[in-house]
Amino acid sequence: MLQQTRAAVVVPYFLRWMELFPNVKALYIAPLEQVIKAWEGLGYYSRARGIHKAAQQIVEEFGGEIPGTKEELQRIYGFGPYTTNAVLSFGFKKRAAPVDGNVLRVLSRYFCVEENISKGTVRRKIEEKAEGFLDSEEPWITAEALIELGATVCLPKPRCEECPLRGGCLAHQRGRVEILPIKNEEKKITELHRIVWVIEKNGAVLVKKGMPGKVMADLYEFPYAEEGEEAKFVKGELTFVRKLRPRSHSFTRFRAHLSPVFLTTQGEALPGWEWVLISQLRELPFSSGHRKIAEEICACVSCI
């Protein structure tokens, strides 16, 4: 959960997650839709699908127990270098350095790494340096300290006056702190403007579940189209009722601005779409912006 999401946001999700799935076996038997619903709002839903797939593997290959060796952990779906080392360090108290963005920033400055940290070869060099940084008796303490240092002191705009490593930091000595780390430029955000149709029929509304492999896989959405595009979702006439509140949400490299409208029909849904009772909408996992629309509909059934 902490990958791509701030810790302050994660806490309530984590507590709720542990109530639903207190162990790997509970996650193993849970349907994917329930897992996605529990993740709703955190974004990057491939993480939820990945952890569910990993649970299947842990139960089927390791008897439901998370293995404690690097070789075994690396066989589990979604376990890259960071996750593997984090589990070894914090879960098994072994000598392993979980290197996240915070640690990359700290050590690229400390050692004054004048190379692009987005490159795999450079990242591996820093990972080796991180392992050499670890305490011989309690390596997991140092591992957590490096992460926290990057999260609280060695920020993108660093607070060098508070840093306990300032005396040995080469970037500080050479006046390179503000320049490092060097990394790829962030891709520009593309703005999308979409019309969303909430189409009601006999107390149900039209929705569609995202197909596997797509950005919104396993998430439900209402019919929509880019502004200016024509689209058809039902056979039959549509009757305009009212506009709903504009919404927006971000995903990958996009920010979508949604302009929802509420309509009614007695027509038939086109293939791929399904009618879901308004009273059941809260049970389904929705993409962020469409979830807000669904909440508005559920809260104002009398307005329909």
What is the three-class DSSP state of 194? Answer: strand
What is the three-class DSSP state of 29? Answer: helix
Structure tokens at 30: 């849970």
Amino acid at 229: E
Q: What is the 3-state secondary structure (H, E, C) of 73-129?
A: HCCCCCCCHHHHHHHHHHHHCCCCCCCCHHHHHHHHHHCCCCCECCCHHHHHHHHHH
Question: d(Cα 18, Cα 27) in Å, to the nearest integer?
Answer: 10
Pinpoint the residues of the chain covered by CATH 3.90.79.10: 190-303
Pairing of strands 190-201, 224-226: antiparallel
Distances, alpha carbon 256 to alpha carbons 114, 121, 168, 195, 239, in Å = 37, 35, 45, 10, 25
| Burial degree of 34 (CB within 10 A; 0-12, 13-18, 19+) | middle
What is the three-class DSSP state of 12? Answer: helix
pTM for the model stands at: 0.72
The residue with tokens 């029929």 is: 201
For 147, the enclosing helix (H) or strand (E) is: helix 139-152
The CATH number, out of the four listed (1.10.10.10, 1.10.340.30, 3.40.50.1370, 1.20.140.10), of the domain defined by the range 1-79: 1.10.340.30
Quick one: fold of 92-185? Endonuclease Iii, domain 2 (1.10.1670)
Question: d(Cα 249, Cα 257) in Å, to the nearest integer?
Answer: 7
| Superfamily classification of domain 190-303 | Nucleoside Triphosphate Pyrophosphohydrolase (3.90.79.10)
pLDDT of residue 301: 62
Pinpoint the residues of the chain covered by CATH 1.10.340.30: 1-79
Cis-peptide into 181, omega within 30 deg: yes
Cα–Cα–Cα angle for 188, 192, 197, rounded to 5 degrees: 160
**Any bridge partners for residue 243, and if so which?**
261
Question: d(Cα 32, Cα 30) in Å, to the nearest integer?
Answer: 6
pLDDT of residue 245: 93
Residues in the chain: 304
For 46, the enclosing helix (H) or strand (E) is: helix 46-62
Taking only the tens place, the pLDDT of each residue in 44-90 is 888 999 999 999 999 999 999 999 999 999 999 999 999 999 999 99
pLDDT averaged over consecutive 10-residue blocks of the chain (304 residues)? Answer: 82 95 96 92 88 96 94 94 94 94 95 92 92 93 95 94 94 93 84 94 93 82 89 90 91 88 93 93 90 89 52
Pinpoint the residues of the chain covered by CATH 1.10.1670.10: 92-185
Taking only the tens place, the pLDDT of each residue in 5-31 is 788 889 999 999 999 999 999 999 999
